Amino acid sequence: MNAPQQVTSPWFYFLLGNILPTIAYFAYKKTSPSSAEEERDDDDEYEDSDDEYAHFHSNKSSREWGMSDAPYKMILVVNHELGMGKGKIAAQCGHASVGCYKRATKMCPGGTRAWEFTGCAKIAVKCPTEEEMRSIYDTTLDRGLPLYIVEDAGRTQIAAGSRTVLAIFGPTYIFEGLTSHLKLL
C-alpha cells in the first residue's frame, strides 16, 4: 500500500518565502547596535538648538550618510576673481558638478542616492578670491567631504591651470560656516 501523499499549498510557500525573511530582518534590526541608537527616543537632548544638532551629525563620516541626513546639496564655488563670461562659468560648473557627483557616488553612495531622490539641489556662489577658494578647499578636504576642483586647460578665456570652480557635496548642515558667507552667483 502506498502512503497518502500530502500536497502542500502554494500559499504555504508564498507565506514562507515572504514572512520568514521579514521576521529575520526585524529581528536583526532590533539587535543591531546602530538601530538601537536610531530608535532611542532621546529627542529632548537635541531640542535646545540647531547648532547642537548639526554638531551631532557632523561627526558622521560621509560613507555613513543616508536619507536621514537629507536634504543634500552641491555647492559650486565659482572663482569670481578670474572674470569669466557666463558661458565659461556654465561650462566650468558643469565639469565641477559631474566630477563631484562621480566622487560622491564612491565616497557616500547612500548620500548621493538620497540627493537624487530629493531633487539634486545645486547652488552656485561666487568666491571673491582664489585664496579664499583655496581655504574652503582645504577645510573641505580636512572634513573628508566629497569635492572636485576644476583647473582650466587654458584654451579660451583664462590661463591654463587656473582654478575656476570648486564643487562640494553634502547634507545642508555641513555647509554652515564653510560656504554660508558667500553670495549667490
Does the residue 144 lie in any domain?
A: yes
The answer to whether residues 125 and 75 belong to one domain is yes
pLDDT tier for residue 55 given thresholds of 50, 70 and 90: very low
Does the residue 89 lie in any domain?
A: yes
Please tell me the total count of domains within the chain. 2
The answer to whether residues 82 and 30 belong to one domain is no
92 or 3: which carries more pLDDT confidence? Answer: 92
The answer to whether residues 29 and 68 belong to one domain is no
**What residues make up the domain containing 135?**
62-184
Does the residue 46 lie in any domain?
A: no
The answer to whether residues 27 and 110 belong to one domain is no
Q: How far apart are CA 7 and CA 21, in angstroms?
A: 24
Residue 44 has pLDDT above 80, yes or no: no
The answer to whether residues 84 and 148 belong to one domain is yes
The answer to whether residues 131 and 92 belong to one domain is yes
The answer to whether residues 133 and 88 belong to one domain is yes
Residue 125 has pLDDT above 50, yes or no: yes
What is the average pLDDT across 33-51?
Answer: 38
Does the residue 33 lie in any domain?
A: yes
Average pLDDT value for the chain:
79
The answer to whether residues 70 and 33 belong to one domain is no
Residue 53 has pLDDT above 60, yes or no: no
Does the residue 150 lie in any domain?
A: yes
Does the residue 50 lie in any domain?
A: no
The answer to whether residues 25 and 94 belong to one domain is no
The answer to whether residues 20 and 104 belong to one domain is no
CATH number at residue 133: 3.40.1490.10
What is the average pLDDT across 144-153?
Answer: 93
The answer to whether residues 27 and 94 belong to one domain is no
Does the residue 164 lie in any domain?
A: yes
The answer to whether residues 103 and 146 belong to one domain is yes
Residue 151 amino acid letter: E
In this predicted structure, what is the pLDDT of residue 6? Answer: 66
Residue 7 has pLDDT above 80, yes or no: no
Residue 54 has pLDDT above 50, yes or no: no
pLDDT tier for residue 56 given thresholds of 50, 70 and 90: very low
Residue 35 has pLDDT above 80, yes or no: no
